[in-house]
Amino acid sequence: MIANIPYLAVVGLIIIGLSAVIFKKNLIKIIIGITIIQSGVNLFLITLGYREGSTAPIWTSSPGGVMAFPVPQALTLTSIVIGVAVTALMLSLVIHLYRHHGTLDVRKMGGDDQ
């Protein structure tokens, strides 16, 4: 149980990102929070494939010994590229919203009940 302390980094990243998404009112800062959550999830995926004392699964001038699992690393690569695509789309939509409303504050955006 005490050996699981490294996972605290994943928990910390996800909580930091989630609190930014919940408490911030600026859309750009919300997107930064979402990308921090993505980083936490990517770190978790990488950590799942790590074995004690292992090296990267690359045989070029490899020192030998135990190797980490390549499949979680490959899926993390997929996840990073999809994260870039999603971030690009989110930023485009935010530029669109900024032109429409003239502000990035979600409280001043839309809704007549303010």
Partner 1 sequence: MNGMTKIVKTIAGISFPFIVIYGLYVIAHGHLTPGGGFQGGAVVASGLALILVAYGSKWAATKIKEHDLSLLESVGAIGFITVAFFGILFGGVFFSNFIVGTDLLFGGIPLAGAADINTGGTLPLMNFAVGLKVIAGLFGIVFIMALAISKKEESA
Partner 2 sequence: MLTKRDYAAVAFLTIITVFLMFSMLLIHPFGSPNASAMDQYIIDNTVEETGANNGVTSVVFDYRGFDTLGEATVLFTAVAGVIMIFRRLKK
Q: Which residues bind partner 1 (CB under 8 A)?
A: 56, 58-62, 77, 80-81, 84, 88, 91-92, 95, 99
CB under 8 A: which stretch of 31-39, 70-78, 101-109 binds partner 2?
70-78
Nearer Cβ to partner 1 (99/107) = 99
Tokens of 78: 């997929």
Q: How far, in Å, CA of 93 to CA of 87, rounded?
A: 10
Choose among partner 1, partner 2, none what residue 28 binds, the Cβ cut-off being 5 to 8 Å by kind.
none
**Token digits for 72?**
């979680």
In one-letter notation, the amino acid at residue 114 is Q
C-beta atoms surrounding 64 within 10 Å:
7
φ, ψ of residue 56 to 5 degrees: the values are -65, 150
Note whether 52 binds partner 2 by CB under 8 A. Answer: yes
The dihedral sign for the CA sequence 35, 37, 42, 46: positive
Q: Does 26 bind partner 2 (CB under 8 A)?
A: no
Q: How far is CA 107 from CA 30, 103, 104, 112, in A?
A: 13, 10, 9, 11
93: partner contacted, choices partner 2, partner 1, none (Cβ within 5-8 A by kind): partner 2
Contact residues for partner 2 (CB under 8 A)? 1, 3-8, 10-11, 14-15, 18-19, 22-23, 47-53, 57-60, 67, 69-71, 73-75, 77-78, 81-82, 84-86, 88-89, 92-93, 95-96, 99
